[in-house]
Amino acid sequence: MQPTSSYCMLLPIPSCSHFISFPLQLPGTIMAAAHLLFSREYLRCSVCLDLFQNPVTIPCGHSFCLGCIEQCWARLGAPASCPQCRTFFEPTPRLCKNHILTQLVQDLASSTLNLLVPCDSCLGQRIKILSSYPACMTTCLTHLGNGMDGLAHNSPQLTEGAERQCLRHDKFRALFCTTDQSYICLECLQEEHKGHSAICEEDGEKQLQSFPLKELQRGIQCAEDEICSLQTEMNAIKIATLRDKEELTKSFSDMIQMVKSAQGKVQHFMEGLEQAALIRVEVKLQQLMEKREAMLQSKEKLDQLSEPGSDMQLLQYLEGLKVESKPISNRSCPAEDFGSAHLTKVLTEFKEQLHHLCKKHMDRIMQKAFEVPVSSRELLPGIQNRALLSMKPRRRADFLHYVRKLTLDLNTIHRNLFLMAGNRKMTCKLQPQAYPEHPERFDHFTQVLCQERFSSGRHYWEVQLSGNQVGIGVSYWSIQRKGHERSCLLGRNAQSWCLEWNSSRCTAWHKNQKTLIPKCHHDKLGVFLDYNAGTLSFYEAADGMALIHTFQATFDEPLCPIFFLSWNSFVTIGESSANTTNFQKQFSADF
């Protein structure tokens, strides 16, 4: 005989303060089935959230439906990974049926909570227990007793049993099918409702009591916090804009004052030159006037000596007059150096240089100060083009506003890297190149740094990749260059971040930690560095700019673009090349 356990359920009597006791005599096998039902969460697949269908267990210990795990792996591609703990498996493990879980699911499906025991008033007829009254006497609804006619009407607990009885399987409908919005029994779940999402009544009541209200309150609080944050951000933007406007006005006023000061200095200098030139001319004029006066006096004297009888005195005077009348050496007039044509030429050159300076540096000033697209002509009124709001670029045209021209540092390039096309393309060859010795050169791993060092702002560059394996990313200048240690390789240390590419997949590396990126077949990539935000992102360089991977970090030093190439791999910096295949064929012959 199977052991039994006794349970009682209490229902209030509407006409008094007493309760009705419902003793439930449960056989041991039924108790085990009930325990399985209460433990149903352990028999649900974490992918479809339904009871296991052909359960299998993978090497990490988690179990799933056979169809669910096969569908996940088919969608994600190689290598296979656990949908729950994200553990990777290489090669893909063989899926075997878990017979224990299968049996537990079958036992749960065949169990019943629809307990049928004899009613004390029905002379042996086995019906569902609804109540016991009085003295713990098992009683059906029909024989609940005199004076209790209104109890069934006033107590939903009693009437619900009859309404929840499954007519097809003659079992209590203990589950609620959320797909069809109806109550079902366990056998219904295995037949016409197979594959549907179902919950038990207890779970539904718990969700009704806790989940919606808490989630709603949490959503309201999050919305209020977000509104407050946005209002604070708007106020901060207004304050920052006002401060920047004041600083802008002051800066341009200072520059205008500098130009006016330069104008005053030039005018003062020209006035000094004018005064000096006038003094020299006045001195020369005075000398000429004195000379003319002397010559007039000499002429008058000659007229007097021209009278008869004064020949000897005339000859003596003429001899002295020759000495006095020696010509004063002529000098070029200083006024020739102060012509209006010369001044106009100097001022015209100054204006042209000032105009060129403004045109060349104004966009750079705006980009550095506000992080806006380079062309100021695109700054139109409206929220979509606010200069002070640094919007995240989405299209390729937006990224090209931050494009940078990279220059390979020949002092760091490995000897097996071969440059071509004006140092815009490179490949890895077996024959070392004749690069001079330098302490900053990579001596083991075939890598090269760029001369550019980014310590703020946004920066973008594109690369065309082909061949066996290529690594692209950024690194601190302090990366180790000498030796065979793995820490010298890009992404295997704390000083660098990289994306390793080959024709079948990509992997992201940092601090020697690998992140697999499935189904990455792009051969033209865009690298976007937002130093201030601490992000390094890799995109497919196309109109859609599909995101491949993003690193989030706090950068402490200036960052340099860096490249790693394996044998017979090619990299083109800045633009795609239609002749990449030709280069491969040409240089593969040399290997």
CATH number of the domain that residue 173 is part of: 3.30.160.60
Lowest model confidence (mean pLDDT) among 38-47, 131-140, 241-250, 457-466: 131-140
Tell me which of 53 and 169 has the higher pLDDT. Answer: 53
Q: What is the pLDDT of residue 379?
A: 42
Residue 238 has pLDDT above 60, yes or no: yes
- What number of other Cβ atoms are within 10 A of residue 464's Cβ? 20
Q: What percent of the chain has a predicted confidence (pLDDT) above 90? A: 21
546 shares its domain with 398: yes
As a whole number, mean pLDDT of residues 251-278 equals 85
Q: How far apart are the first and last CA of the chain?
A: 85
**Cis peptide bond prior to 134, omega within 30° of 0:** yes
Longest CA span, the chain: 192
Collapsing DSSP to helix, strand or coil, 7 comes out as strand
Number of Cα atoms under 13 Å in the Cβ half of residue 521:
3
> pLDDT per residue over 458-471, tens digit each?
999 999 988 888 99
Residue 420 has pLDDT above 60, yes or no: yes
As a whole number, mean pLDDT of residues 214-219 equals 79
Q: Is residue 36 part of a domain?
A: yes
As a whole number, mean pLDDT of residues 295-305 equals 78
What is the average pLDDT value for the chain, to the nearest integer? 75
Q: Is residue 320 part of a domain?
A: no
Residue 344 has pLDDT above 80, yes or no: no
Tell me which of 317 and 325 has the higher pLDDT. Answer: 317
As a whole number, mean pLDDT of residues 193-197 equals 84
CATH number at residue 415: 2.60.120.920
**275-280-281 Cα angle (round to 5):** 95
* C-alpha span between 271 and 269 (Å, rounded): 5
98 shares its domain with 244: no
> pLDDT per residue over 422-462, tens digit each?
888 999 988 899 899 999 999 989 999 999 999 999 999 99
Q: What is the pLDDT of residue 530?
A: 93
170 shares its domain with 81: no
Q: What is the pLDDT of residue 394?
A: 84
Q: What is the pLDDT of residue 335?
A: 53
106 shares its domain with 223: no
Residue ranges in 165-308 assigned as alpha helix (H):
186-190, 201-209, 211-305
CATH number at residue 48: 3.30.40.10
Q: What is the pLDDT of residue 418?
A: 92
Tell me which of 563 and 505 has the higher pLDDT. Answer: 563
Which pTM value belongs to this model?
Answer: 0.38
Q: What is the pLDDT of residue 380?
A: 39
As a whole number, mean pLDDT of residues 201-218 equals 68
Q: What is the pLDDT of residue 178?
A: 83
Q: What is the pLDDT of residue 303?
A: 75
Q: What is the pLDDT of residue 27?
A: 45
Domain range enclosing 169: 165-251
Q: Is residue 307 part of a domain?
A: no
90 shares its domain with 207: no
Tell me which of 501 and 371 has the higher pLDDT. Answer: 501
Q: Which two tokens stand for residue 445?
A: 């791993």
Give how many domains the chain has, as a whole number: 3
548 shares its domain with 404: yes
104 shares its domain with 183: no
Q: Is residue 586 part of a domain?
A: no
> pLDDT per residue over 521-544, tens digit each?
678 899 999 998 899 999 988 888
91 shares its domain with 193: no
102 shares its domain with 216: no
102 shares its domain with 170: no
Boundary residue ending a domain (204, 225, 251): 251
